[in-house]
Structure 1
Amino acid sequence: MDNLARWREEAGGAIGAAIDLSELLADYARTLGPDHPDSLAARRRVACFRGEAGDAAGAVAAVSELLTDYARVLGPDHLDTLNVWWSLGCWRGEAGDAVGAVAAYIEQLAGYRRVLGPDHSRTLVARHNLAYCRGRAGDVAGAIAAFTELLADRERMFGPDHPDVFFTRHNLARLRGQGGDVVGAVAAFSELLADRERVLGSNHHHTLYTRHTLTHWQKEAGAR
């Protein structure tokens, strides 16, 4: 049944996948109990398929209930529990609740810092997700500040030419433009383009995308 659900998902049938997994979930609850890790994992996937089928609000409700059960069964600082916070943030954002999404990502990040430490890769990704979500919620200044701090830490840990560093620089440059600093965005994307051409080559898809984005902000600067 689990394979059938995955195949249906890959074929674009999120609703059918959710139905298949709901049947599997009932079997897990009956044979393993509702608090078994496999039962909890199946519930998370059912919630995900609901969201992918267009029911973001239903996914939020299901994940919220699931988060309570994960915290009760595994504890609030278990990695699986913290990962559910990410799911909640994701579906809150899809449902249009950007502020609620930020709150969920804050909870996940705090947990990762407690459990994994500030320099763990998952912690850094959580910081990235939170900064990005703040930008989507309209807090451009907060997002810029968060990405600036994250950039410094990623450069310290990985060096200036790491893909994650380039990715962070891209998001920071984009937010500068969205925040009204079009000239700063053009300068930042120009520097990023030069570095990506040097490291990746002129025809790499990341380089091409950076060149395309730079052209966009150059046009914005010319129109002002």
Structure 2
Amino acid sequence: MDLKRWIAMGLGVLADSREVGRLLKQHPDRVRAGRDWLLVEEEQDNDSRELRHLALWRRRTWNAADAVEPYERLVAVRERAWGADHPLVLDTRLGLAAVRAEAGDVAGAGTTYEHLLSDMVRVLGEEHPRIPWVRRNLAHWRKTKHWVPPPLPRMNDLEGRAREDALRDEPHDTAVMRHLAQVRWRQGDEVGAVEAYEHVLAERLRAWGPDHDVVLVTRLTMADMRAEAGDVAGALEAYENLLADMVRVHGPEHRGTRWTRHKLTQWRGLSGGSSLHGR
């Protein structure tokens, strides 16, 4: 094969790679998993769609007490549609446990996590990444007697202007996972969004290193996501670890350090009562 033909083939492969990357960046549905397509199908049923939107709207407008009932109904609807052991049904029960805690029913949240842990281990196995999530929150709510939840982070978009320098030159596969996380978030699949965004954080760690501002702010977003997804124990751990690194990298009075400390205090439930909820 002559040199010109090799060069032509190489250029063709490069062009194809760029085109694939462009399409992936524009169309995150190319990497949607089975869970994503099930949620898309669910959107076609008016009753299910309205129930999901009601549950999400109540929870995301800090009305967790009134969100418990639609979340319970959503679990029942999905159990009938997909079976009690479907991973998305288990994840919906994970969301219900979080809503119970946010509604002030700490004991009820602990009981829900306890029952869920048994079912998740049976269905998914001990090594599944959801198991540590459930275990740490079960332990957390067992020892918590009273908790005043802060407002959930408003996360219509998972990242703000602080990310612009990273987003411009983001590799296509990382950008796709970020877009997928946003799609899942809008669908109300917070647990799946956390899963997707963990890949984004891992890629940025590789690209930028652990002490880069891009990575530190991404970790802050990740902690916020865990908090809204209901992984309060995981969020507290993430805020604590990030705070230590913020102090080491930027010092105790840096705005990022102070904000991380504020978020940690909020989610510990120590920052004081209903004024946090804007009521």
TM-score, normalising length: structure 1: 0.47
RCO higher in structure (CA 8 A, sep ≥6): 2
TM-score, normalising length: structure 2: 0.38
The structure whose residues are more often helix, as a share, is: 1
